[in-house]
Amino acid sequence: MISGLGVAGVAALGVSNLFAAQESHQPMTTQKLEDPKNKYPKPPFKEQSQPWPGLASKMEPRPDHGEKSYRGSGRLAGRKALVTGGDSGIGRAAAIAFAREGADVAINYFSTEQPDADEVVPLIKEAGRKAVAIPGDLRDENFCKKLVADAVEQLDGLDILVCNAARQQARQSILDISSEDFDSTMKTNIYAPFWIIKAALPHMPPGSVIIATTSEQATDPSPDIYDYAQTKAATTDYVRSLAKQLAQKGIRVNGVAPGPIWTPLQVSGGATMEKLKEFGAKTPLGRPGQPAELASIYVQLAASDASYTTGHIYGAAGGSGQP
């Protein structure tokens, strides 16, 4: 067999075997298996309350956004992302993961959330990527336009847009919701993505992605977040509609629908104290999710190897089966 290969063939075979030998001695890290039921804190949780929109840094226990656990592999090298609500919760987890996968990241947040944003910016920079912090109120159309313009200018482009920021305030009855409250929720959760996407699209080349954070509330609404649940049903529908509209432009649109996730949304009026203490207990896993547990979903939806995935909603609800 060797004589049939000739000199060149023998040489190639030798090199091939050498590389194979070298590769066989590469150290491999064994990933530790963890029981998902016991991976993170379970209820009951301590009673706690913060003014809206709340700070992750003051929560007990503190949420895990993947600060110490997320490891990147260059899947988003050279990409440019804007994440609303990027200071805490799911937005922070996505921002950290994007940076560690090689993307430059701009985050938006409400001005009172600056202490949380000040924790995120260094994490993005430590990953060797550019970090842009843009505080402001998404209920203002002019600010939403400026947010996109500033992100595009400072990132030198934009090809990942995550519309994640949301407002949620629990009210036992529709009679307890003021028109001002209702308007604030609608503007944050529905109007802001509309304004931001309109401003961003002219800057987004083919291959870009839009990712929306929706919720299991879109399909299984709770009685005490009547207005919030409506906005998440609208979010789910805009993902599916916009995906069809933008397919010809080569822009993908998908959504992530979390179940109960431990974020400042809950401790700043998003849940009653009774619900907060038992938050996540009714899921099959018996606990709320942590933002870090959703980070890889956002990465996968943003990555170019998910190029046939558009118009879909990805759930992460601890076994509840939604969406």
Cα separation, 101 vs 10, in Å, equals 40
Cα separation, 299 vs 160, in Å, equals 10
Residue with tokens 């038992």: 278
How many CB atoms are located within 10 Å of the residue 150 CB?
A: 17
Q: How far, rounded to the nearest angstrom, does the alpha carbon of residue 59 sit from its chain's CA centroid? A: 19
**Contacts of 121 by beta carbon, 8 Å cutoff, 6+ apart:** 107, 131, 133
Q: What is the DSSP letter of 78?
A: T
**Contacts of 39 by beta carbon, 8 Å cutoff, 6+ apart:** none
Amino acid making up residue 279:
F
Q: What angle do CA 119, 120, 123 make, to 5 degrees?
A: 100
Contact call for residues 292 and 316 (beta carbons, < 8 A): no
**Contacts of 19 by beta carbon, 8 Å cutoff, 6+ apart:** none
Nearest to 41, CA basis, from 73, 66, 64: 64
Q: How far, rounded to the nearest angstrom, does the alpha carbon of residue 170 sit from its chain's CA centroid? A: 23
Of these residues, 40, 70, 109, 228, which one is catalytic?
Answer: 228
Nearest to 116, CA basis, from 100, 136, 92: 92
Contact call for residues 218 and 257 (beta carbons, < 8 A): yes
226 is catalytic: no
Cα separation, 293 vs 66, in Å, equals 8
Contact call for residues 196 and 147 (beta carbons, < 8 A): yes
Q: Residue 261: helix, strand or coil by DSSP?
A: strand
Give me the active site residues, please.
Answer: 228
